[in-house]
């Protein structure tokens, strides 16, 4: 068995995607292409795509601007919110700077208030996200999607047809299928690649402005991985870890490294940097495109939903399909919804799935890297 020692260049290309997109977003603006920035997996990307706009994720994952944010926001606020606001306020994020509109959503209280302040210096459109997934909530969310479409039409003086939306749905579904095919290579035992390499592609793909390029690039990568796996290139056997919890990326990649530098391998990600964003497709057979979009996006199992059975459904399925040995939940300090829900996740993992669980609470500083490593190493050793 040949163990991969060097990272294939292609993973580094995806890791560099965010930096490359900084240059690409300027080119788009120079060509007059509208740019729509968003902060959440609930954002119905297809509506922006249907009008020919580029959409980009604005969530910031570095502590670089937190001190700037704390001049206006409380210190005991979630680092994702402080970082996002800091990058916006200081103009240090090219994506935010070049966004014609920033789309917010009523997920957690901290974000809702942040958008109010942000609206003082940027065009912000707020989508009223229900905090439940009942049929009445679906009607509200469908209306919000239509309201967003009408806002874009008025602001950019365009017409967005249902056929435009159908085309965008098809493109995005193809991208989801390709990314799902990629993360499903981790069902193999031993795995063909590391969890960190997998993450770099999943995270990098969120910064692709032309979504139609994703299927070709990702499928070519999967073909290459499968070919090399058949030739005997694979990782050594290690305890198989699922990561769940708050969004991963940037500073919090330290959690992935802590797992993989201490004897484990991350075989799947339940959080919104992983399966949560890709698992479900939009129903292309539904004649009502707005209903199809509303159903697909509202069904995402985030901790802002009450109750939140869809998160447990996905988590349970991933644990079974990926033969997971242990679950690591990463919660950000002061992220109340995920921190409160961690108790229920622990019960579900321990009592229903009968496997070990650990919750690590962290922020965007690098001060706890040693402690993280120690705790996760002890957890993996126990497996």
Q: What pLDDT tens digit does each residue of the chain (383 aa) get?
A: 444 334 457 677 777 877 788 888 989 999 999 999 999 999 999 999 999 999 999 978 899 999 999 999 999 999 999 999 999 999 999 999 999 999 999 999 999 999 999 999 999 999 999 999 999 999 999 999 999 999 999 999 999 999 999 999 999 999 999 999 999 999 999 999 999 999 999 998 988 899 999 999 999 999 999 999 999 999 999 999 999 999 999 999 999 999 999 999 999 999 998 999 999 999 999 999 999 999 999 999 999 999 999 999 999 999 999 999 999 999 999 999 999 999 999 999 999 999 999 999 999 999 999 999 999 999 999 99
pTM of the predicted structure, to 2 decimals: 0.95
Q: Is residue 349 part of a domain?
A: no
What CATH number is given to the structural domain containing 155?
3.40.50.11890
Q: What pLDDT was estimated at residue 366?
A: 94
Q: Is residue 345 part of a domain?
A: no
Q: Is residue 134 part of a domain?
A: yes
| 307 cis-preceded (ω within 30 degrees of 0) | yes
Q: Is residue 25 part of a domain?
A: yes
Q: Is residue 288 part of a domain?
A: no
Contacts of 251 (CB under 8 A, 6+ apart): 61, 62, 63, 79, 363, 364, 365, 366
Q: Is residue 189 part of a domain?
A: no
Which domain does 50 fall in, by range?
A: 9-163
Q: Is residue 69 part of a domain?
A: yes
- Give Cα separations from 167 to 141, 155, 172, 180, 306 (angstroms): 21, 22, 9, 20, 33
Return the ∠ at Cα 253 (arms to 250 and 257), rounded to 5°: 150
Tokens of 7: 């990272």
Q: Is residue 52 part of a domain?
A: yes
Torsion sign over Cα 343, 349, 355, 357? negative
Please tell me the total count of domains within the chain: 1
């Amino acid at each position: 068995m040949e163990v991969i020692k060097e990272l294939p260049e292609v993973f580094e290309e995806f890791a560099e995607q965010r930096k490359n997109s900084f240059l690409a977003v300027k080119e788009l603006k120079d060509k007059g292409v509208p740019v729509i920035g968003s902060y959440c997996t609930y954002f119905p990307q297809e509506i922006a795509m249907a009008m020919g706009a580029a959409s980009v994720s604005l969530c910031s994952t570095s502590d670089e601007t937190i001190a700037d944010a704390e001049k206006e926001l409380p210190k005991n606020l979630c680092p994702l919110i402080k970082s996002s606001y800091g990058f916006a306020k200081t103009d240090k994020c090219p994506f935010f700077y070049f966004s014609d509109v920033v789309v917010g959503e009523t997920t957690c209280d901290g974000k809702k208030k942040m958008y109010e302040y942000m609206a003082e210096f940027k065009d912000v459109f707020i989508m009223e996200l229900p905090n439940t997934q009942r049929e009445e909530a679906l009607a509200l969310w469908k209306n919000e999607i239509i309201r967003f479409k009408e806002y874009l039409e008025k602001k950019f003086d365009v017409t967005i047809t249902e056929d435009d939306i159908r085309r965008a749905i098809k493109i995005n579904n193809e991208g989801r299928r390709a990314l799902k095919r990629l993360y499903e290579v981790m069902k193999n035992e031993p795995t063909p690649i590391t969890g960190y390499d997998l993450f770099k592609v999943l995270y990098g793909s969120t910064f692709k402005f032309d979504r139609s390029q994703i299927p070709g690039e990702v499928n070519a990568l999967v073909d290459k991985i499968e070919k090399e796996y058949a030739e005997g290139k694979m990782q050594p056997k290690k305890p198989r870890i699922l990561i769940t919890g708050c969004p991963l990326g940037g500073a919090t990649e330290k959690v992935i490294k802590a797992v993989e530098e201490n004897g484990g391998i991350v075989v799947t990600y339940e959080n919104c940097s992983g399966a949560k964003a890709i698992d479900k497709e939009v129903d292309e057979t539904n004649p009502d495109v707005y209903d199809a979009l509303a159903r697909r996006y509202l069904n995402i199992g985030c901790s802002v939903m009450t109750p939140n059975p869809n998160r447990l459904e996905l988590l349970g399925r991933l644990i079974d399909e990926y033969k997971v040995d242990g679950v690591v939940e990463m919660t950000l300090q002061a992220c109340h919804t995920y921190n409160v829900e961690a108790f229920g996740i622990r019960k579900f993992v321990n009592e229903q799935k009968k496997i070990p669980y650990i919750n690590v609470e962290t922020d965007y500083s690098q001060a706890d890297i040693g402690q993280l490593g120690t705790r996760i190493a002890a957890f993996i050793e126990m497996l």
